[in-house]
């Protein structure tokens, strides 16, 4: 054997021509066989895959295309069940969408702490640094919360989750956030805040039992409203940004699903939520980063040097509001996609009731960071920002027992402590 392989020359070639031919045939047969096996494996792989594989159509407009996610299988189902298992006598089982997000992480952790079953869902998109989302995921994992990686537009995945766990509640926090980014990427707002929300509601209305749903609306729905403080009864038909318009659309969509299918729906209008593990696209967060780097920050002011202010609300207060909403949510009344009676439909402001000018926020940060900011005062750009927000929270106080207790100074102190610690650890581990 090794002489044939190693010897060159005419004689040897002639002598071995039969063997060559037979080897050639056997090689072709082997190649055909292995190609067949390979094609079978690819075929089986795609057949077993959830519908999101075939639905994966990336578009520039949406940015949030349905990526390929892996789910299914006995081990995966076991993790899902274990995460969603209720561990306290009056506990509930909650599917938290956007669980690797800022509010989602805090709400998931709080639910888990009190013994509720919690399963997270998040698509880990790159709107802001996904490594922060991964760090939040790791934090939740340590407390026993599993986050399934997937998109709320993936109907097959949502159906599968409800097959594995009959969730009593959905805390829907997955969304495309950010007021100003809507001008850069309008499609992502439609994809997540409208199409994604409708997809989720379609699943919720058809499963049995239907869950009760609490979801994140936004203070931005008040848009150009000038009544202060903003009350749930005020008009919300003048959104100033596409973000606000999609959240307002969400409120109307919620009305429809409540009306037709008997889904119990509670919308929460969050007012500029801030705190540890926050969102890097928000002003308090990137101001902190830029002040520490000695970079100048832009502070917006309205016409005629008008003050721009926000009703900044601390994350722990928001979490209490979310839990209050879940705890007072009544059951949905439909089954098999049909309504059998009127169901609860609510919208609440969750704010702090004390607006603070953005320039004061910067002064607090300067004190906490012990660094003077390089302030660049500029005109409020016409890209969706409103001049001020101010929540009237009496309805939430009455119905949910909501009572914010954190002023901006104390809340930012906790944020800065977290920020310095988190980024020193990240920096150290990168060295």
Ligand X SMILES: O=C(O)[C@H]1O[C@H](OP(=O)(O)OP(=O)(O)OC[C@H]2O[C@@H](n3ccc(=O)[nH]c3=O)[C@H](O)[C@@H]2O)[C@H](O)[C@@H](O)[C@H]1O
DSSP secondary structure of 108-168: HHHHHHTT-EEEEEE---SSS-HHHHHHHHHHHHHTT-EEEE--TT-HHHHHHHHHH---S
Task: Say whether residue 332 binds ligand X (CB under 6 A).
Answer: no
Q: Which stretch binds ligand X (CB under 6 A): 22-30, 175-183, 205-213, 223-231?
A: 175-183
412 scored as a contact of ligand X (CB under 6 A): no
Kindly state whether residue 407 participates in binding ligand X, applying the rule CB under 6 A.
Answer: no
69 classed as catalytic: no
**Taking the mean position of all CA atoms in its chain, how far away is CA 329?**
21
Q: How far is the CB of 93 from ligand X (least distance, A)?
A: 27
Among the listed ranges 133-141, 295-303, 331-339, 395-403, the one in contact with ligand X (CB under 6 A) is 295-303
Residue closest to 95 by CA, chosen among 27, 28, 25, 145: 145
Q: Which of residues 354-393 bind ligand X (CB under 6 A)?
A: 358, 385
Q: Does the footprint of ligand X cover residue 189 (CB under 6 A)?
A: no
Burial readout 397-410 (b: 16 or more C-beta within 10 A, e: otherwise): beebebebebebee
Cβ nearer to ligand X, comparing 152 with 282: 282
**Contact between 199 and ligand X (CB under 6 A)?**
no
Cα–Cα distances in Å, from 358 out to 288, 304, 388?
13, 16, 10
Taking the least distance from each CB to ligand X, the nearer of 164 and 373 is 373
**Toward ligand X, which CB reaches closer, 148 or 400?**
400
The residue assigned the tokens 């790159």 is: 126
Q: What end-to-end distance do the CA atoms of the chain give, in Å? A: 56
Tokens of 204: 């919720």
Of 268 and 343, nearer to ligand X (C-beta) is 268
Closer residue to ligand X in complex, CB, 158/216: 216
Give yes or no for a contact between 149 and 97, defined as CB atoms under 8 angstroms apart: no
> Does residue 161 interact with ligand X by CB under 6 A?
no
Instruction: Answer yes or no whether residue 178 interacts with ligand X by CB under 6 A.
Output: yes
Minimum distance between the CB of residue 351 and ligand X, rounded to whole angstroms? Answer: 8
Select the residue interacting with ligand X from 140, 283, 373, 400 (CB under 6 A). Answer: 283
Q: Which of 212, 220, 264, 288 is in the footprint of ligand X by CB under 6 A? A: 220
Kindly indicate which of the ranges 88-96, 97-105, 139-147, 174-182 contains the residues binding ligand X, using the contact rule CB under 6 A: 174-182
List the Cα angle 132/134/136 in 5-degree steps.
70
- Residue closer to ligand X by CB (options 178, 324) is 178
Tell the smallest beta-carbon distance from residue 399 to ligand X (Å). Answer: 20
With beta carbons less than 8 A apart as the criterion, state whether 204 and 211 touch.
yes
Which of 222, 243, 314, 402 is labelled catalytic?
243
Quote the tokens at residue 295. Answer: 């970079």
The residues with which 335 forms a beta bridge, in sequence order, are: 338
CA pair distance 102, 105, nearest whole angstrom: 6
Residues that bind ligand X (CB under 6 A): 177-179, 218-220, 270-272, 282-283, 298-300, 308, 310, 358, 385
List the catalytic residues: 243
């Amino acid at each position: 054997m090794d002489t044939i392989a190693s010897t060159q020359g005419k004689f040897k070639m002639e002598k071995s021509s039969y063997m060559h031919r037979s080897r050639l045939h056997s090689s072709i047969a082997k190649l055909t066989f292995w190609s067949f096996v390979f094609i079978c494996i690819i075929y089986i792989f795609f057949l077993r895959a959830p519908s999101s594989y075939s639905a994966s159509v990336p578009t520039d407009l949406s940015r949030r295309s349905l990526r390929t996610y892996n789910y299914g299988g006995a081990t995966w189902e076991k993790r899902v069940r274990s995460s969603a298992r209720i561990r306290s006598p009056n506990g509930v089982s909650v599917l938290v969408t956007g669980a690797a997000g800022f509010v989602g992480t805090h709400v998931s952790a709080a639910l888990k702490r009190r013994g509720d079953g919690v399963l997270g869902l998040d698509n880990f998109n790159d709107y802001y640094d996904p490594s922060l989302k991964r760090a939040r995921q790791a934090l939740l994992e340590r407390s026993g919360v599993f986050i399934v990686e997937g998109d709320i537009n993936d109907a097959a995945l949502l159906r599968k989750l409800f097959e594995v766990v009959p969730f009593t509640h959905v805390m829907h926090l997955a969304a495309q956030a950010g007021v100003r980014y809507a001008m850069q990427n309008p499609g992502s707002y439609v994809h997540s805040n409208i199409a994604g929300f409708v997809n989720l509601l379609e699943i919720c209305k058809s499963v049995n039992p239907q869950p009760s749903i609490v979801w994140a609306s936004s203070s931005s729905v008040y848009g150009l409203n000038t009544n202060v403080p903003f009350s749930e009864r005020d008009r919300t038909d003048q959104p100033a940004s596409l973000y606000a318009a999609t959240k307002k659309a969400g409120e109307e969509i919620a009305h429809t699903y409540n009306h037709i299918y008997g889904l119990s729906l509670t919308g929460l209008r969050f007012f500029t939520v801030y705190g540890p593990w926050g969102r890097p696209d928000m002003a308090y967060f990137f101001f902190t980063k830029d002040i520490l780097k000695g970079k100048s920050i832009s502070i917006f002011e309205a016409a005629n040097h008008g003050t721009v202010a926000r009703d900044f609300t601390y994350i722990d207060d928001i979490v209490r509001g979310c839990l209050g909403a879940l705890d007072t949510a009544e059951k949905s009344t439909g089954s098999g996609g049909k309504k059998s009676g009127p169901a609860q439909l609510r919208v609440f402001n969750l704010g702090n009731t004390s607006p603070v000018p953005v320039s004061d926020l910067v002064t607090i940060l300067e004190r906490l960071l012990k660094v003077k900011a390089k302030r660049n005062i500029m005109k409020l750009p016409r890209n969706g920002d409103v001049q001020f927000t101010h929540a009237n929270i009496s309805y939430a106080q009455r119905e949910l027992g909501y009572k914010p207790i954190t002023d901006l100074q104390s809340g930012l102190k906790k944020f800065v402590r977290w920020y310095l610690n988190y980024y020193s650890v990240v920096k150290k581990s990168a060295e």
